[in-house]
Amino acid sequence: MSGARETGHGFNPLLIAGLVLTGVVAFIALWALVALAPELSSGNDGGGHALSKAAPGYAAIVDLAERAGADVELRRRVDFASSEERGPLLILTPKHDSKPEKIAELLARQNDRVLIILPKWQTLRIPGRTPKPGWVSNGIPIAPSGALLPEPLFGKVGVRAPGAKAQAIAAEVGGRRFSAYLPADAQVVDGDAIEPLIAGANGGAVLARAKKRDVYILADPDLIDNLAFASRDKARAAALLIDAIGEDADADGLAFDLTLNGFGGQRSLLRFAFVPPFIGITLCLIAAGLLALWQAWVRFGPALKPGRAIAVSKAALIANSADLVRQARRELDGAAAYVASQRSAIARRLHAPTGIDAAATDDWIDRRLKAEGDPFSALARRLPLARNKHEFLEGAQALSDIRKELLRDG
């Protein structure tokens, strides 16, 4: 025998309830993280966006602008254009594989004051050679396609990287003069629908503006990205460049878009379920599910253990047999058999003479009884003639008393 304590069910109810509750919470948390991961991500992945601390990122210019007291916003969702006369300078940092229609949508939502910084670096991280998390191991300069710039606004635009050495050139944007540090083989743009603001060393424009709107193009990101903060002079030039563009666009702050880099802005029913105003409906559904689970648990409880159809004992067997006789209404039919069973038990125990009939056996039993009370033979004749249950029970009880008196087994 194992000696294990026997219980009414195979499992601990509290343990099962804990497992179910943990599973429900984990399932909801998983889908919440899947839906909100782009908005909760730190973004330090080595890409070319405002959250990245790697060389092609813009975390340095963001930090510098905030320290200088500028109003800086990191946008994880697409906003409609403001109706106010002034607003922040929206800075778009597309990737090489960004969709032009997505850029066109952002430009359509923003009336003016937009700066598009074209991508330049294709980066990679080599395990064991990356100094810090979020940094990159190597980068390859690749000129992006001119299709990133919507043709209705900029016309036919070409992006190229003519051979030129790194140099500092004098620049003037928005009435402000400063020195711009051009890297080696700086990217430039060419087109008929744009006007150059800062010319490249060998033609083209490093910084240009659309002729129809105040939408600017910075062809080479190394003028303001984290790579530009390798020296104090280049960092100062980057800050002056951003400030001059904001002055020329009459902007009162900076807003770095992150949706083009995959951080927020996704339109999905899963995300809507965990953000206002639909988060209320989600919480109501979760509460309704938990209440339904609780109702089912309280109502039914653990599974019932089925009992045996026939209990294991002589008393149970006798009780079941008596119940069958009672249901069949044949109680009186067993009177003769009961008398015979009592006669046989007394004669066997008291060693009555063998070979005598029932009447002689009854007389033999009568001689061993006391004088008071009805003799066994009279009760044996009267019991089979009982007319109802009361008479039957009275006679049967008298025979049972005689047996107990003679056999001393009461």
What percentage of residues in the chain have a pLDDT greater than 70?
82
Query: Please, what is the Cα angle at 211 between 207 and 212, to 5 degrees?
Result: 130
Q: Is 275 inside any structural domain?
A: no
Statement to judge: residues 115 and 251 lie in one domain = yes
Rounded average pLDDT over 219-235: 91
Q: Is 54 inside any structural domain?
A: yes
Least confidently predicted of 183-197, 241-255, 345-359: 345-359
Rounded average pLDDT over 100-125: 86
Statement to judge: residues 64 and 201 lie in one domain = yes
Statement to judge: residues 201 and 116 lie in one domain = yes
What's the total number of domains in the chain? Answer: 2
Instruction: Examine the fold and report which residue of 227, 262, 297 is the final residue of a domain before the chain moves on.
Output: 262
* CATH number, position 225: 3.40.50
Q: State whether the Cα torsion 32-59-159-150 is positive or negative.
A: positive
- 8 A C-beta contact, residue 67 and residue 232: no
Least confidently predicted of 125-129, 280-284, 354-358, 362-366: 125-129
Instruction: Examine the fold and report which residue of 227, 244, 262 is the final residue of a domain before the chain moves on.
Output: 262
Strand partners, 217: 116, 208
What are the Cα distances from residue 142, in Å, to 151, 172, 246, 267?
21, 28, 28, 31
* Phi, psi of 209, rounded to the nearest 5 degrees: -135, 140
Statement to judge: residues 133 and 193 lie in one domain = yes
Statement to judge: residues 134 and 252 lie in one domain = yes
Give 204 or 11, the one with higher predicted confidence. Answer: 204
- 8 A C-beta contact, residue 157 and residue 174: no
User: Above 80 in pLDDT, residue 250?
Assistant: yes
CB atoms within 10 A of CB 351: 7
DSSP code of 255? E
Domain holding 206, by residue range, is: 42-262
pLDDT digits (tens, 9 = 90+) for 188-197: 999 889 999 9
Structure pTM?
Answer: 0.58
Strand partners, 91: 115, 256
User: Above 80 in pLDDT, residue 203?
Assistant: yes
Instruction: Report the amino acid identity of residue 358.
Output: A
> Quick one: pLDDT at residue 3?
45
